């Protein structure tokens, strides 16, 4: 039996792409999952993920809400605790990407990036610290651009970078309850979020910088996220760069 069997998790942006695979990988370990999705446009994908979790033998609920509104973060955790009787794992895979030169970024674009990537992450971590059972686990998905020296991604990498400071503080502040807090930083990932930001030439360049001449895949990331909640629980306060050697620091 899995070490995680019988535990319960909340996965922010857990209805599609990487979040969906994290949700179903947890379910395969016997974990009940609250699947969060941002907008009604994503509901069908969230429904499919809930069905896959249930097919794996775990319990699942779905929850829709914009997590840049802190009240929705609280409601998400309320719904998960109400459904499962408690929570052990909180995973935040929410993210917003923008590739634009500094000189072209408008104030509303800057605000949106920091609302999604920093504010929502902070209050998700705060709520996790309040609500998780002792011995719990929190993981946030960030980006390998935190270790890259490049153009175009100032607002994306810049709005993800505060999460490292949130995570290190959380790791210290929640340690007396045995809750580990970490980040996983994928390399450029083969998902629909990546390609609209890049030219075909840049995609090939990104591939060339990693092992096997390929992009990071969601299958490279989800097992590690689940590992941190179980056998890897002693890992704490870290940002793990998972990118096939694309970059490091």
Task: Tell me the catalytic residues.
Answer: 156
Ordered DSSP codes for 58-118: --EEEEE--TTSHHHHHHHHHHHHHHHSS--EEEE---------GGG--HHHHHHHHIIII
The owner of tokens 């490279």 is: 220
**Neighbour tally for 2: CB within 10 Å:** 14
């Amino acid at each position: 039996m899995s070490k995680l069997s019988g535990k319960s998790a909340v996965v922010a942006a857990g209805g599609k792409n990487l979040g969906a695979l994290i949700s179903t990988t947890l379910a395969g370990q016997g974990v009940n999952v609250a699947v969060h999705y941002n907008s009604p446009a994503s509901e069908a994908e969230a429904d499919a993920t809930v069905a896959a979790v249930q097919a794996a033998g775990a319990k699942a609920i779905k929850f829709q809400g914009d997590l840049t509104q802190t009240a929705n973060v609280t409601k998400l955790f309320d719904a998960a605790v109400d459904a499962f009787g408690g929570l052990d794992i909180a995973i935040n895979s929410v993210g917003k990407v923008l590739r634009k030169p500094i000189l072209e970024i408008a104030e509303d674009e800057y605000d949106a990036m920091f609302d999604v990537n920093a504010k929502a992450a902070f209050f998700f971590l705060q709520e996790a610290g309040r609500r998780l059972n002792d011995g719990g686990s929190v993981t946030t998905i960030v980006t390998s651009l935190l270790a890259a020296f490049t153009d175009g991604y100032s607002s994306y990498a810049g709005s993800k970078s505060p999460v490292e400071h949130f995570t290190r503080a959380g790791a210290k502040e929640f340690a007396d309850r045995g809750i580990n807090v970490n980040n996983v930083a994928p390399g450029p990932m083969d998902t629909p979020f990546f390609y609209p930001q890049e030219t075909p030439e840049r995609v090939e360049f990104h591939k060339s910088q990693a092992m096997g001449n390929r992009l990071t895949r969601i299958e490279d990331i989800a097992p590690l996220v689940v590992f941190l909640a179980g056998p890897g629980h002693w890992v704490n306060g870290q940002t793990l760069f998972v990118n096939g050697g694309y970059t490091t620091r």
